[in-house]
Amino acid sequence: MQTTISAVSTQTIIISTILLLLFTASIIYFLFVYQQKRFLHNKELAEIREAFNQTLLQSKLEIQEQTLDHIAKELHANFSHLVSLININLAEILTFVPAEARENVSETKSLAKQLMAELKALSASLNTDHIMKIGFIGALENELKRINKTQKYHLVFSKSGNEYRLRPEHEIILYRLCQEVLNNIVKYANASSLIVLLDYTPELFTLSISDNGTGFDVASVEAGIPGKESTGLLNIRKRAKLIDAGIKVESEPGKGTKIIIQIAQTK
């Protein structure tokens, strides 16, 4: 009798242990499944958020391009026309002014002609259709020519490898990115030398823009330290991200800045 009770107790303990283990295993399993679902849910939310940010950025850039197109057309249609009229009027006035004033009128006429050329170049640099037609290289060369006319920089521009076209929308964004970089150099770098290098390989497109200007502390800018923020650098990174371009910024105070942009080529 006692042996029977002992056996029953043993079986009860075993069954209870098994049930407890099964219960524990079930809890662990459900926790694991919950964590997995939570992880997947957070991942989906992050992907949705990233897609939304990309769409928002794309929309902003499209609005910017439309605005720039409108400005370009206004410059070409209205301002260029006005400058042309000024030039014509100055040419007519030139025959009637006294000899001592002709030099000043001629100089003003020459300035008006230069203004016309600058307006045409500026209009072309803002016009998306024109950029897509001449391509990224053509647009970049025109931008560098405009900078070179200031005679403030020793400019070096070179290409290596077999040149090829990027996707049209990528070329537009890449060109705007270069404009942002060059604009920062002209405004803030206080540089005397500017080097732009392009390297084409079947796998990778690489663009580097270097200057010998004042430079800056990259870590401070990246960390967003008050007084060190750079809207220009933030815009550059946003544009690069939109076309899946890798970007590296090398700079030190007093040692200039080098920005490297790379775009992997898919076959």
Same domain flag for 141 and 267: yes
Inside any domain, residue 21: no
Same domain flag for 92 and 144: no
Rounded-to-integer distance, Cα 1 and Cα 211, Å? 98
Same domain flag for 73 and 196: no
- Here the CATH number for the domain that contains residue 203 is 3.30.565.10
Rounded-to-integer distance, Cα 127 and Cα 65, Å? 8
**Domain-terminating residue out of 126, 160, 181:** 126
Is the alpha carbon torsion for 166, 171, 173, 178 positive or negative?
positive
pTM over 0.95, yes/no = no
* pLDDT at residue 205, as a whole number: 95
Same domain flag for 115 and 183: no
Residue 214 — φ and ψ, nearest 5°?
-70, -25
**Domain-terminating residue out of 67, 97, 126:** 126
**Domain-terminating residue out of 84, 100, 126:** 126
Inside any domain, residue 59: yes
Same domain flag for 143 and 266: yes
Residues 63-107 have pLDDT tens digits of: 666 666 666 666 656 666 677 777 777 777 777 777 777 777 777
Same domain flag for 164 and 236: yes
Inside any domain, residue 45: no
* Number of structural domains found in the chain: 2
How far, CA to CA in Å, does 140 sit from each of 167, 174, 209, 224?
16, 10, 12, 30
Nearest residue to 239 (alpha-carbon basis) of 165, 178, 164? 178
Residue 256 — φ and ψ, nearest 5°?
80, -175
Same domain flag for 170 and 203: yes
What residues contact residue 122 under an 8 Å CB cut-off, 6+ apart? 72, 75, 146
Same domain flag for 69 and 163: no
Same domain flag for 95 and 148: no
| Structure-block tokens of residue 122 | 């500026």
Domain that includes residue 71, residue range: 55-126
Inside any domain, residue 11: no
Inside any domain, residue 46: no
Rounded-to-integer distance, Cα 191 and Cα 152, Å? 8
Is the alpha carbon torsion for 234, 235, 236, 242 positive or negative?
positive
Tell me which amino acid residue 248 is.
K
Inside any domain, residue 197: yes
What residues contact residue 88 under an 8 Å CB cut-off, 6+ apart? none
Inside any domain, residue 102: yes
Tell me which amino acid residue 70 is.
H
Same domain flag for 211 and 147: yes
Instruction: Supply angle C-alpha 74, 76, 81, rounded to 5.
Output: 100
List the chain pLDDT tens, one digit each, 267 residues: 555 556 656 777 777 778 777 778 778 887 787 777 777 767 776 666 666 555 555 656 666 666 666 666 666 566 666 777 777 777 777 777 777 777 777 777 777 777 777 667 666 667 777 777 888 999 899 889 888 888 899 999 999 999 998 888 788 889 888 988 998 898 888 999 999 999 999 999 999 999 999 998 888 877 765 544 456 777 788 888 888 899 999 998 988 999 999 999 876
Same domain flag for 171 and 259: yes
